[in-house]
Structure 1
Amino acid sequence: MSPKEQIQSLRDELREHNYNYYVNDNPTISDFEFDKKLEQLKTLEAAHPEFYDSTSPSVRVGGEVTKNFNTVKHINRMYSLDNSYSIEDLRDWERRIKKIVDGDIQYTCELKYDGASISLHYENGKFVQAVTRGDGNQGDEVTANVRTIKSVPLQLKGDDVPAKFEIRGEIVLPWDGFHKMNEERAEQGLDLYRNPRNTASGSLKLQDSAEVAKRPLDCLLYQLAGENLPVKSQFDSLMLARKWGFKAPQESKLVNSIEEVFEYINHWDVARKELPYETDGVVIKVNSLDQQDELGFTAKAPKWAMAYKFAAEQVSTRLEEITYQVGRTGSITPVANLEAVEISGTTVRRASLHNADQIEKLDIRVGDEVYVEKGGEIIPKIVAVDLTKRPENSTPTVYATHCPECNTELVRNEGDAKHYCPNDMACPPQVKGRIEHFISRKAMDIDGIGAETVGQLVDAGFINNYADLYDLTVEQVLPLERMAQKSAENMINGIEASKQVPFERVLFGLGIRYVGETIAKKLAKHYKNIDSLFNMPAEPEKTSIDLFADVSSAADKKIEELTAVPEIGESIAQSLVEFIQNEDQMAIVERLKKAGLQFALSEEQLEGQTDKLSGKSFVISGVFKMSRNDLKKLVEDNGGKNSSSISSKTDYLIRGDKMGPSKLEKAEKLSITMISEQEFLAMI
């Protein structure tokens, strides 16, 4: 046998042993025999580097060092999931689904593993890239580190693998491995890891992949993504993934009703304690991919999936003090400072009290024994007070009247749950918070500068707002603590590069209250440039005849104009007008314009966009030649609005094959105009 044939034979054999051990949990040789064969392979590969293969089992040992993790834009967005905490939440979700899709609905139930979300990319059956979830739109490339995880197949099995696709899952650290790592750290006198999830997530960002290879990480896969996948349902995709060599958990189950979903939840709420991994709930997905396609997505999550969270662990501890935090928009959040307590593997010393109403509702007081849990097992919160243990000298909590940072008197607008500090241009946490928001990944994504550096720059008096960033020089920032020449250059280069960030992200970065990422995109798309968005109507001149007449002010007219934009409500419009009428904010925006930031959609973004469908609402139902997502994009690109359900406000139903009878019946009853895919394309 030639060296090439020997190498290939050993690779094939070791891949199969890896699969049996890490995926099937059914080893067919001893660890000693496996290690001997692996050493034999490494020796042959070292002698014949011309036969290098990135999918060889030998690459599992790591050794590649990654200094900086590249940011990669997801081909298919990685959405988060909507959460439910009760059976009634799930019933409501099913009722919403049944208003949109016809026919029987099956569900795939899967355990929700608590790990680090990952997207694995494959081309021609070979593993080529791993990307963390990040913000859902883009994440960090961690290919070298993920390649060391034994349950991640580097070469897929079978001849029906698509040429290119991705699969999503969780990188987890099993309990046994976690405890073993902590035993080793205890022997070395090192601090112990707090919980498996954070340890798994931190492992992905280690610079030396050889260190990652030493950690007993596992990878559980649950979602295929890509075009023209050879499956029609979620459950079939899990079975196909297993056939290809992926570790898709066997605990998944196909059920035929919401009642069977509840049975699955009740079973695993108890049985999960015997699993080797951390789990915090159940994910329920509509099984049919056609029905998933029809249901679509909200701005943040798929409408066809829901995460049911198991009841959080609850403990009691003493409330030692109530302090107040100031957010970047001036919102005041009361914080409970607690006697340290362990919850779900982490030490908790602080919990949010939300607002004055919550404190009053629970009658929370300093010195109380309180019950704390992690909301969704993430954010600690106080859920009740043990009144039997209340001290005799206890006094009711009096909410703060002045800002804890700048001593400005707080305000609370009618209908608002929170108090606010109105000193937005000089209150230190607001100043720093707005700049931190501006430089964040979803906004300007400025390399070389983080929250700590922002604090240094503000404290040194170099910047007071985000426009000041564009006046900074290398020489100016060099004296900052821990700032070397290269770091200073990276910061200034990062600030300069941010001038190419597209308009919608600049708009989001301005930090206008209620204008989140999605709203910023809608406003940018509607107005096309900042001048159109910020242009205020002329203030009407009042005559003696108008003294007793109702003459709309410029602000009222602008609010009316803004609320006419789909999904822009009164609160968003009011906040925008307040921002526009603030002379200090407008002066900062003018400075950003002069600095060269993008305040209009690019020619590329404007290409193909028209107002042909302006004011028209469309419902898309059925199967089409092009994907439903492409049809929806065409509706939006031409000024129309997509809706998931038919109502009297629907102008057109784009009707495809296999459309449900109930939608057809409702459209006919409401006399909705029905058009084909070809007729729609002719319209635009």
Structure 2
Amino acid sequence: MDAPVETTSAAEHDAAAERAAELRHLLDYHAYRYYMLDAPEITDAAFDKLLVELQQLEAAYPDLVTPDSYTQRVGGYVSEQFAPVTHMARMYSMDDAMNLEELDEWLRRTEEALGAGHVVYTCELKIDGLGVALTYQNGAFARAATRGDGTTGEDVSLNVRTIRDVPMHLSETALAHMGADRGTPIEVRGEVYMPKGSFVRLNEEADAEGRDPFANPRNAAAGSLRQKDPKVTARRDLSTFLYAVADTAPLHVGSQHEFLAWLRDAGFSVNPNVARCNTPAEVHEFCAEALAHRSDLDYDIDGVVVKVDSFDQQNDLGFTARAPRWAIAFKFPPEEKTTVLREIRIQVGRTGVLTPVAEFDPVTVAGSTIARATLHNEDEVHRKDVREGDTIIVHKAGDVIPEVVGPVLDKRPDGAEPWHMPATCPACGAPVVHEDGEVAYRCVSIDCPAQLKERLLHWVSRGCMDVDGVGEELVDKMIEAGLLHDVADFYTLTTDQVAGLDTGRTYLKDDARRGVRAGDPIPVGATIAAKVIDELNKSKAQPLGRVLFALGIRHVGKSVGELIAQRFLTIDALVAASEEDIAAIDGIGPKIAESVKQFLAVPDNLAVLDRLRVAGLSLEEDLSGAAERAAAETGVDADLAAGQPLAGLIFVLTGTLVNRTRDEAGAALKALGAKVTGSVSKKTSFLVAGPKAGSKLTKAESLGVPVLDEDALEQILATGEVPAV
């Protein structure tokens, strides 16, 4: 009877070993997508389920534990995009309690180890963000790094400096508390997160521009913090909560509660939802309260972190291979509901992007009723394989954005067909275009009513036709009055039409002299109207390059518009040009050329161009005045710019410049005739390198490309002369 038992046991072991290897592979794959790519394919709950299964297998079969198992290391990866930073002490992961039973088991073990009734706990909300370590030297901000693999992180100092609630200097109160240790380097730790409102706005912008959206606020925060350009990070509205430190000794605090008070005194942002709990019952109460109110917060949480408050007791408990024994993360379950998908409707965004939107039977999720959710693009619809009539699973990404998780396949009705993007725009009937390599489908008709307001505002903006005094409020009133249907309508406006528009405000009191009574609507008036008409008339003199940019053609910015205009000189020549002719322009290429020809292939767009010509716009490029205009915009000497002294030279800019931004420096170089590119090659004439220069500097040095500092750049811009090499 013994042999069969041994055979069965061996078979079970082999099956367990095979499953453990599969789980290790899956965890590594999904951790890489989560931490490195900021593009997860599965939910946090699904990832945690895989990890728990691996932990259970390794507990049952200890010989299956490998040094590289996800259970033996801190989650995360170190990117090669940023310089590596070694942390002052290891940043550990946290063991999870997936339900109250597992939380109670941890509480029981802790009470047994330290003595029942002798443990005080600190409970904190578990912020779903990106782990960071901030280092301060002599009280001043020195650097910031991501958690990375726990030992080594990525240097994101420049980006973290743009986060408003990160102090650049610690308060004198906090430093005084450190006493003789005030000069000791301090590494504090916490989370960078994105508020829910900012997450919504960011994904709305992504949808409008045809970009893939972020899956949740955590990934949005991670992607924002890893931007190569700190100005992009600054626009993303990130925030922080700090809660840990690499070494408590210099701070002279004895508990987590005292340490959080020190952080507040030092000037850090500390989450206010913290409680000291004297019993496991109080821990339960805090967790229940946090779960009940998670949807009320302006940031995403996925649980509660329970810590032993005393640092001495923490030291007594110590660490496992990957996590502290003195803390645990109680994870909240994801709230998901099922409903019926009635229709996939198309929404046309401000840039012409067609976005599929799921319309379903109303259902209450995370405290509010939802009945629609964006499906982002056709690829996403096909990836999730959702069809009209399906019973679908919905939840809220980050507890805020309604999201379709997928279909319940065994409830799919007979005859449910895969969904496809329509061939024509539902708002105007124009053909829909789809560029190779992009997920977005677009309507490029300039007459599309769904895009009207943003096209009009773009046309009058400073970088385009530069019509001063015409802003969002006035454009709204013109649209409401039926005066504007496309950009050419700006040039049919009369002073009387603009003067009679309702500003939306009313007179506060009677004025017999002007014949008005309190409560009467206040019109725009003749003075402002005359200025508007004058500004519109002046804009007719703008060169063709500005007009091409102002038309809102996909991929055509100001510099691209200028390159095209300088090559073809007139709109008629551009319309007659082939896609190959446009792509042959140095710095343009096939993608931009395709977009321009798609725009010019729409009859409605050509009709608007004809009306602009009739209104008095020249639609021609005046090369004789180009240098003078560029000089005026960049501040270089007009006479110098006229001679184009840098013609034929190629510059690359890298690092941080002090006197000008890189864009401003590039524009100034172009005004003097230089070409400015983004990559270093053997053709590069000079690399201008500021502080924090990276791989471009290394490549330039390897290729023997001359490297200039910012002082040399300013000398070139002032004199038009380059140093001898």
Short-chain TM bin: 0.3 to 0.5
Bigger radius of gyration, 1 or 2?
Answer: 2
Could you state the TM-score of these two structures normalised by the residue count of structure 2?
A: 0.43
Could you state the TM-score of these two structures normalised by the residue count of structure 1?
A: 0.46
